[in-house]
Amino acid sequence: MNCSEAEKRIQHFIDSKLTATEEAAYIEHIRNCSSCRQELMSQFTIDHVLKSMNGTAGDDISYDMRSLLNSRIIESEKWIKAEKLRKRVLYTAVALGEIAAAACVLFEMRGGFVWNLIEQLLGK
Ligand SMILES: [Zn+2]
């Protein structure tokens, strides 16, 4: 991700509207790019002040913006990890399902042409 892409994603990041993949790329960028980190810090601060004025900032009325932003990023990374894990579990389940389906097909073919061929190939 380059700086102009990162810039476009600042508000989406603040509003938690990025996908896990986008958010991971964005966080990686701001970790390595001080100007984008600064830009995020300013927009995050403005956003927080506006929400505080509207009373939508929740119980969090702290103005230690650096630590607020840090905890936001830590939350984000937890979420990204959870999303990755969820996807991995899903893919594994799909893969297992496919293996099971393939095994069923082979089982049904048992005694049939394909099964005989396999047995011949295995020398039985
Ligand atoms: Zn940048």
Tens of pLDDT, residues 3-17: 999 999 999 999 999
Distance 6 CA to ligand 1 centre (A): 6
What distance lies between CA 66 and its chain's CA centroid? 24
**pLDDT one-digit tens code per residue, 52-85:** 777 766 665 667 888 889 999 999 999 999 998 9
Residue 113, pLDDT > 80, answer no
Distance 14 CA to ligand 1 centre (A): 16
Q: Are 124 and 117 in contact (CB under 8 A)?
A: no
Stated pTM of the model: 0.65
Distance 36 CA to ligand 1 centre (A): 4
Q: Are 84 and 20 in contact (CB under 8 A)?
A: yes
Tokens of 31: 């970790």
Distance 44 CA to ligand 1 centre (A): 16
Token pair 């990025």 in the structure block, residue: 18
Ligand 1 ion: Cβ-proximal residues, 5 Å cutoff: 3, 6, 33, 36
Euclidean distance between CA atoms 41 and 69, whole angstroms: 7
Q: What is the dihedral of CA 58, 79, 15, 71, to 10 degrees?
A: 50
Distance 65 CA to ligand 1 centre (A): 20
Q: Are 47 and 14 in contact (CB under 8 A)?
A: yes
The domain of 106 spans 3-121
Q: How many domains does the chain have?
A: 1
Distance 20 CA to ligand 1 centre (A): 19
